[in-house]
Structures are given as C-alpha cells and as structure tokens.
Amino acid sequence: MEPAAARPRPLLTAATVLPQDAERAALVARVHSPRWDGPCVAAVRGEHVVDLTAVAPTVSDLLERDDAAEIVREAVGGHTWRLDDLLAAPVGRRDIAHLLAPVDLQVIKAAGVTFARSLLERVIEERTGGDPAQAARVRARVGQLVGGTLDGIRPGSPEAVKAKELLVAEGLWSQYLEVGIGPDPEVFTKAPVLSAVGTSADIGVLGASVWNNPEPEAVLVVDSHGRVRGATLGNDVNLRDIEGRSALLLSRAKDNNASCAIGPFIRLFDEDFDLDTVRGLDLDLRIDGTDGYVLHGSSSMREISRDVLDLVAATHGPHHQYPDGFVLFTGTLFAPTEDRQSPGAGFTHEYGDIVRISSPRLGALTNTVVPSEQAAPWTFGVRALLHSLARRGVL
C-alpha cells in the first residue's frame, strides 16, 4: 500500500459535500492554512470559504457566542478560499490549504448502543468473542430467542425491566444490553482533542483488526453550558473483533490514529435547522471497494432508543463540565451483516474502501480506509494550536 502522503483524495466538489439547502445554512469549517501552519475558523458561503479567525480564534470560542450563526453569515472575514480547491488538496500536504475536521477544543465524546438493532450486534460480538466466523450462528440464535423483544422499548422503563428478566432467563443478558435498555447510557471519550480527521482525509483501522465497520452517526455540537448549538456527521470506526473480545478493550477498539472522522461542516441551529430536525435525520452510507464492491446502508435518528437531550444530560451537568464544549456522537442503527470476504463472516473493511456518509441537511463526509499505522501521524495538538494563534496575534 502506498504511503498516505502520496495518495490522492477522493474526487470531491462543493456540489457533492454541501447540504442540499446550503444557501440557507450557517456552516462552520476549519481550514489548514500554510501561511500560518495552522487552522483557521471559517464560514462556508456558497462555494467559497471565508477566514473568521480574527473574529473567533477557535470554533469553541465561536460557539460560546449567542450570535454565532449571524457571525458565520455576515461577519467581515479575511482570506477566502474556493471550496473546490480545498477539497482537491492531496493527502498529507501541509503546504496546501485543505479542510480539517470542523471542531477544535471540544472534547470528543460518543454514546454507544443507542439503537436496538446495533445493540443486538454488540451482543453477538460479545458472544463470539470477536470471532467473525461465529457471527452467523450466534446471530441466528439471538434472533430466535429475542426476536422483536427490544423493539420500541424505552430504556429504564418497566417494560425494559421485564425484557431484562426474559433475557437473563434465556442466558442472553450482557453488559451491552445493560447500557442499551438500562437506566444509564454508555458515554465514552472517543478521541483526544484535535485528533479527528475531516472530509476527504484517510480514516484509520488498526492493522491487527480483521472484523470492523464504519459507524455513520449524527454528531451534536455542544457549548460549555450544555446547549446544543448545531450538528455534523461522524464516522465512529468500530473494531468489532477487538471490542468483542472484551468491553474493557473499548479504548483499543475506538481510539487509534485517524479513527475518528467528523465533518464536513458544523451546521449551526437557526430558524431552518434545529434539534427536531436532528431527531428526524436520515443518514445514508455508501462503501466503494477498490475491487468494485459496493455496500449501501442507512441509519435513521427516528429509531434511536434514547432522546438526544437525554444523551447530552448524561454527558454534561453537575456531574461533569466541559469548559471548551464537547461534541457527542449519538450512535448508529447501521450494523452490517452482509458477507464480504467469506460465507458467514459478515462485513469487514478492506484497505482502500471509500466511505461516504451523507444526509441532505448536513452534506457528505467522505474518507478512505487505511491502516491506522499508515495514516498521517497526528502531530498538531493544543500546544501547536496556541503557538499558531499567538503568531497571528488573535489570542
């Protein structure tokens, strides 16, 4: 496999990444600027991207302002880039301006097991010990015993308690069912601050993993007061074999180089886009392999088991604060069972897969799968950000 720096990015244009109603949307981007060797906070205005760093040095700062959407639409900016040029930049070139993940100082959190269908797939991972060869057999057994038992159950409700009793009696209770239908959701830290990759970048799958898949998710963007200010798309890459061996390996399965993609832009809440819009989002997934393999999938926020504000409340409150805000992956309905490499083994990525996650109101996030060990190293952290902003005199 050729090095990440030598590979072209997937062919993207403004028309393929913007929301369908982009002309009405307040869209926030981040752009790597070779001039400053660092990121710029930017507004997407049509097919142009305008530097707003002099107004808000970080996205975190911007989202603390009640007039954030107005700033994105109207504030006088600095340098302007063509969106098509940013999307055409090759992988790994710091001397060329390109899009970054649209978040910076926010802590990257994720809620897991928030959909009944994917909940059962986590149980299957656990029952197989992460062995994909056993997946079909265990899936059939779980489906036979559980069937539609979990459909429509509100976590923590009396109905959930009864379902738990049934599953315990069948010997099927697991830690995944506890967080799926029990009173407390699973919320974990997905990735370190500033480590997420943006659209058209490589996304990493740990080289040791032989059973893995993308997780297309709506991602809430929340300020330091716990207010949801907007949303974006995310890929919470899942290493099913590693997590299936033990839930205590969650960080090994979830937090690796380039294993978290967010983007393409943050869409801020306004009169045309709000929390109810997010609750009704449909997310589409397409995977294109280098061998001509194509997989289509989807996830609907209408089928989520816990309301998104319940997930926010489980993350932020008197028990935990986030002074720079946070983003929250809300989970996915997508759980691929289609065989790819061998009968009964289910789906797993192959290197070179192009993964496109899209939603009409949020645009499209596209990434190419590589081994995490071969993705561009993560070298730009908080110290580098502070030094870059200080050189510009915007702190």
Both tokens of residue 2? Answer: 């050729």
Kindly state the DSSP code that residue 323 receives in the 8-state scheme.
Answer: T
β-partners of residue 40 are 31
pLDDT at 334: 84
pLDDT at 5: 44
Along the 395 residues of the chain, how does pLDDT read in single tens digits? 333 444 556 789 999 999 999 999 999 999 999 999 999 999 999 999 999 999 999 999 999 999 999 999 999 999 999 999 999 998 778 999 999 999 999 999 999 888 766 666 767 767 777 677 776 776 676 666 665 666 667 787 887 777 777 777 767 677 777 777 778 899 999 999 999 999 999 999 999 999 899 999 999 999 999 999 999 999 999 998 998 888 889 999 999 999 999 999 999 999 999 999 999 999 999 999 998 999 999 999 999 989 999 999 999 999 999 999 999 999 998 878 788 877 777 789 999 999 999 999 999 999 999 999 999 999 999 999 999 999 999 98
Rounded Cα–Cα distance for residues 289 and 27 (Å):
30
Torsional sign, CA 74, 75, 79, 81: negative
In 10 A of CB 373, how many CB atoms?
A: 14
**Rounded to a whole number, what is the distance in angstroms from the first to the last CA of the chain?**
42
Nearest to 297 by CA among 115, 99, 164: 115
Q: What is the maximum alpha-carbon separation in the chain?
A: 65
Rounded Cα–Cα distance for residues 53 and 59 (Å):
9
Q: Residue 201 CA to chain centroid, in angstroms? A: 13
CB 24 within 8 Å of CB 13 = no
pLDDT at 147: 58
Q: What is the dihedral of CA 204, 105, 42, 390, to 10 degrees?
A: -120
pLDDT at 288: 95
pLDDT at 4: 44
pLDDT at 143: 65
pLDDT at 132: 72
In 10 A of CB 7, how many CB atoms?
A: 17
pLDDT at 154: 78
Per DSSP, the three-state class of 42 is strand
CB 28 within 8 Å of CB 72 = yes
